[in-house]
């Protein structure tokens, strides 16, 4: 709870839960007992979604260890870098990022925001950027820039710790649906559910929800196996709902996003919208259990809509 005080901003709020708006094409179908959305995208205008949960304990650790500078990495549309730049601006950290790309290319709206919030950008070619998975290389960069290193996407033990806190919002549901990128939120949430079960009565242990993860990347079968082996239990990960790969946004997905826009539920095209589409498809096919309660986690990232021209004009 320390970090909530540490942020010192009234703009940071507790996420809300509400029923998903029922689109006309779903209205005549038998619906489950409950289909709710956990709105992580609404907790802060910029520091939103699961990004905040992955950053919060890293930020506290940086402060406690006496660092005044943060160093991380990400792509040109990175929600992580966008949130990190905001955190640095609000909390008084200098921020530097290694960006996958080339300096001579026009900056994306995400990177323009990052610069405006004070982040220094260092561009790396794809081959050099692969070194981000090398712990020794990461330590060397942290030493060279005298900075606290945060892994891409906030995917480290402290990121997992922050995501454990999401488990409290999942109580009372049978299944929790979640888009998966690196797997940080999936692992943290699974650990949080396990800890609640271990500290609960035997009856409540049996009532912990199953996580159904949906990989946003193509060719993630090995990652899915690795994540499931780490968490154990009955959790599952679907590897076939990426719609062509990470960041791919076909017309069918744009149409779905625009439909939900009209209902007041704004989705990002990289993560949550694809998970919602997968849920809809199973609903339409009669594959959902009408007796179950479902919670769909909106992980934020709405600023990323600016990377899709047909969605860029309507960014909440």
Class in CATH terms, 50-154: alpha beta
SS3 labels along 171-207: CCCCEEEEEECCCHHHHHHHHHHHHHHHCCCHHHHCC
pLDDT tens track of the chain, all 316 residues?
233 334 444 567 889 999 999 888 888 888 889 999 999 999 988 888 999 999 999 999 999 999 999 999 999 999 999 999 999 999 999 999 999 998 899 999 999 999 999 999 999 999 999 999 999 999 999 999 999 999 999 999 999 999 999 999 999 999 999 999 999 999 999 999 999 999 976 556 668 999 999 999 999 999 999 999 999 999 999 999 999 999 899 999 999 999 999 999 999 999 999 999 999 999 999 999 999 999 999 999 999 999 888 887 777 7
Please say whether the dihedral angle defined by the alpha carbons of residues 106, 108, 113 and 115, taken in this order, is positive or negative: negative
Domain residues of the chain, as ranges?
Answer: 2-46+162-307, 50-154
CA distance 316 to 303: 8
| Alpha helices (H) in 65-99, listed in sequence order | 79-91
pTM, two decimal places: 0.93
Side-chain half-sphere of 227: how many Cα atoms within 13 Å? Answer: 30
Side-chain half-sphere of 181: how many Cα atoms within 13 Å? Answer: 21
CATH of domain 2-46+162-307: 3.40.50.1100
- Identical fold, 2-46+162-307 and 50-154: yes
DSSP E strand stretches across 204-292 = 210-215, 236-238
């Amino acid at each position: 709870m320390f970090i909530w005080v540490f942020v010192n901003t009234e703009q940071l709020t507790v996420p809300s839960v509400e029923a998903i708006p029922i689109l006309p094409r779903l209205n005549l179908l038998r619906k489950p007992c409950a289909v709710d959305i956990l709105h992580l995208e609404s907790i802060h205008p910029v520091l939103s979604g699961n990004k905040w949960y992955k950053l919060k304990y890293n930020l506290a650790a940086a402060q406690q260890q006496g660092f005044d500078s943060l160093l991380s990495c990400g792509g040109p549309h990175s929600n992580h870098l966008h949130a990190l730049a905001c955190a640095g601006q609000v909390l008084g950290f200098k921020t530097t990022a290694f960006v996958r790309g080339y300096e001579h290319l026009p900056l994306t709206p995400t990177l323009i925001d990052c610069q405006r919030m004070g982040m220094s950008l260092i561009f790396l070619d794809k081959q050099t950027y692969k070194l981000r998975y090398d712990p020794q290389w990461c330590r060397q960069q942290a030493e060279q820039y005298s900075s606290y290193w945060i892994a891409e996407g906030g995917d480290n033990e402290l990121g997992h710790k922050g995501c454990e806190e999401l488990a409290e919002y999942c109580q009372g549901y049978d299944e929790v649906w979640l888009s998966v990128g690196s797997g940080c939120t999936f692992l943290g949430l699974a650990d949080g559910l396990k800890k609640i079960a271990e500290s609960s009565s035997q009856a409540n242990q049996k009532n912990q929800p199953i996580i159904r993860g949906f990989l946003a990347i193509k060719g993630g079968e090995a990652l899915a196996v690795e994540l499931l082996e780490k968490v154990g239990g009955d959790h599952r990960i679907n590897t076939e709902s990426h719609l062509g790969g990470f960041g791919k946004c076909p017309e069918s997905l744009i149409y779905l996003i625009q439909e939900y826009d009209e209902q007041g539920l704004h989705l990002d095209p990289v993560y949550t919208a694809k998970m919602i589409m997968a849920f809809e498809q199973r609903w339409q096919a009669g594959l959902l259990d009408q007796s179950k309660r479902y919670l769909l986690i909106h992980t934020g990232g709405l600023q990323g809509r600016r990377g899709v021209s047909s969605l860029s004009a309507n960014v909440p």
